[in-house]
Amino acid sequence: AQTAMVSGGADADAGIDRVLWTEADVAARVTEVAAELCADLRGLREPAVVVGVATGAFLFLADLVRRVDAPLAVDFVRVESYGDGTESSGRPRITSDLKVDVAGKHVVVVEDIVDTGNTVSCLIAHLEKKGASSISVCTFLDKPARRSANFQLVGDGKFYRGFECPDYFVVGYGMDYAELYRNLPYVGVLKAEMYKKDTSN
Ligand code: 5GP
Ligand code: MG
Ligand code: MG
């Protein structure tokens, strides 16, 4: 059924060139970030709202919140800018909005990776308009080399990150290439031949 997709065989990891962070590396670092976040959320007067950016943040969010012993709500937004390629369009759109009311709340945006910063900037503006009293960003990976949009946290918001990521297109631990590889428990780089031939340029 998946003959139209780029596929290298029956294993989920077919096509991975090398691993940047193993499953154990990820678990150890997520535990540390969760401890930092937990200490901050326990100091709040009311429950925070943790907002995951679908789909990429789903594993990080799941691993993170179960290590945070503080009252919190979880919701998701969908923001799209990438399509199936490896380059951001630079114009993210919110294609699925929150269900939880964030007015007057402390919001923690949970991302898989902050690259140009366009997605996070767009989301911060959106959440601020909805009346969030403070906004933090917690990203599994941070690729500062490619930052073009400098986002500003709101109120007492903080920036948390798992790892600084070198300037490669990475997959696994929630992150995809053409919707595949999200289920890998580690983060890796694809072999060059796995990318679809782009005939548009
Ligand atoms: P932005 O450029 O707006 O900061 O990043 C937007 C989104 O692009 C990220 O949340 C992530 O979903 C995707 N993205 C950025 N860099 C990578 C990457 O190296 N690998 C994958 N799979 N997605 C990425
Ligand atoms: Mg994302
Ligand atoms: Mg993607």
Distance 157 CA to ligand 2 centre (A): 19
Helix (H) or strand (E) segment spanning residue 63: helix 58-65
Query: Quick check: is 115 catalytic?
Result: yes
Look at residue 3 and tell me if it is in a domain.
no
In this predicted model, what pLDDT tens digit does every residue of 38-83 receive, in sequence order?
999 999 999 999 999 999 999 999 999 999 999 999 999 999 875 5
What is the pLDDT, as a whole number, of residue 201? 42
Report which protein residue has its CA nearest ligand 1's atom 17: 169
Q: What pTM does this model have?
A: 0.91
Range of the domain at 174: 23-181
Which pLDDT does position 10 carry in this prediction? 77
Residue 7 within any structural domain of the chain: no
HSE of 117, CA atoms in CB hemisphere, 13 A: 13
Q: Is 114 in the pocket of ligand 1 (CB under 6 A)?
A: yes
Coil, strand or helix at 194? helix
CATH code of the domain in which 40 resides: 3.40.50.2020
Residue 5: its pLDDT value, please?
A: 54
The total domain count for the chain is 1
Rounded to the nearest angstrom, the distance between the alpha carbon of 49 and the centre of ligand 1 is 22
Catalytic residue among 75, 115, 176, 198: 115
Residue 12 has pLDDT above 50, yes or no: yes
Composition of the chain by helix, strand, coil, percent to 5: 25, 30, 45
Confidence of residue 89 (pLDDT cuts 50, 70, 90): low
Alpha carbon of 82 to ligand 3 centroid (Å): 6
* 17 belongs to a structural domain: no
